[in-house]
Amino acid sequence: MPFRTNTVARRIQWGECDPAGIVYYPRYFEMFDGSTTAMFSTATGLSKYEMFQTFAFAGYPMVDTRARFMIPCRFGDDVTIETTMTEAKRSSFYITHQLKKGGALAVECFETRVWVGRDPAESDPTKIKSQPIPAEVLAKLSVS
């Protein structure tokens, strides 16, 4: 079941850059987290908040992520981020982001996340547990 690639375009902001004049690398992870959400929102037509209401879930926390930085980006650069779910298991799933600048691959990121729900009787926010990714969501992410 191949999945659609979702593309986000953005301009690098002054406040995302460090004294070297280039993106402070933790900001890339913020961009990629937003890109993962944008992928789900594009597919479902729902914001993350609306997804919480619709699917009774509690997010898709990160289990493992890795990024490679090949070309530095500076403020004012216009980049695109291409985001693809590469594999979905029962509740775990894998995402790849390719951030491109002028068509060249500048940063690549790999994510392993898990779809979680929260026990309504549980007030401790650290007590979450995995639940299956809804079939409806996977269907909407898939290339038809």
**Contact residues for a second copy (CB under 8 A)?**
11, 13-15, 17-22, 24-27, 29-30, 33-34, 37, 47-50, 58-59, 61-69, 71-78, 125-126, 128
Nearest to 78 by CA among 98, 109, 101: 101
Q: Long-range contacts: 136-139, Cβ < 8 Å, 24+?
A: 137/40, 137/43, 137/44, 137/55, 138/1, 138/88
Nearer to a second copy, 126 or 144 (CB): 126
Distance between CA 12 and CA 10 in Å, rounded? Answer: 6
Closest distance between a second copy and the C-beta of residue 141, in Å? 18
| Tokens matching residue 91 | 């509740």
Distance between CA 40 and CA 47 in Å, rounded? Answer: 8
Nearer to a second copy, 77 or 88 (CB): 77
Nearer to a second copy, 103 or 125 (CB): 125
Nearer to a second copy, 2 or 76 (CB): 76
Closest distance between a second copy and the C-beta of residue 60, in Å? 10
